[in-house]
Each structure stands twice: as C-alpha cells, then as structure tokens.
Amino acid sequence: MSALVINDFLDFNSLKKLLGVTDGNLASHLKSLEKKVYISFKKEFLDRKPNTKYFCTNTGREAFVKHINAIEELLK
C-alpha cells in the first residue's frame, strides 16, 4: 500500500519487482486490496502488450493513514 500511496500509480511488473514477489502472490494480495476498495486498476495495452496500472483509492489512503497512526501509538 505504501508504494501506491506515494505514487500516482504503479503497474503490475513495477510492483512485482519492487516487492520481490511472484505473480501469483502479488495477484492474490492485489485482489484482496481490491475487494476492500483500497485500490483500483486500469487495464490497457502498450505496444500490443497488456499493462495493468494500480491506483490507491481514497478509502485505501484513509485506511493506510489509520494503520500508520495506530502503529505510531503502539510505539509511544
């Protein structure tokens, strides 16, 4: 989530490389985030190759900030 919060969007391959995970693992996590409406996506083609971009939603951003605030409180 943090990568999507600080970027306008990231595509699947960029997320995969950044996180160092497998296709299946990343797809599973993205689907969970999508079900909670924390992320949205847009599919398009670049040079005849499919490309999926992922975006953080307002709901996702709010949940992320709440999560970070809870961690900060635990550390106090």
Give the per-residue SS3 of the chain. CHHHHHCCCEEHHHHHHHHCCCHHHHHHHHHHHHHCCCEEEEEEEECCEEEEEEEECHHHHHHHHHHHHHHHHHHC
Mean pLDDT, consecutive 10-residue stretches, the chain (76 aa), reads 96 96 97 97 93 97 97 96
Domain of 29 in residue numbering reads as: 2-75
pLDDT for 42 equals 97
Q: How many structural domains are present in the chain?
A: 1
CATH at 9? 1.10.10.10
pTM reported for the whole predicted model: 0.87
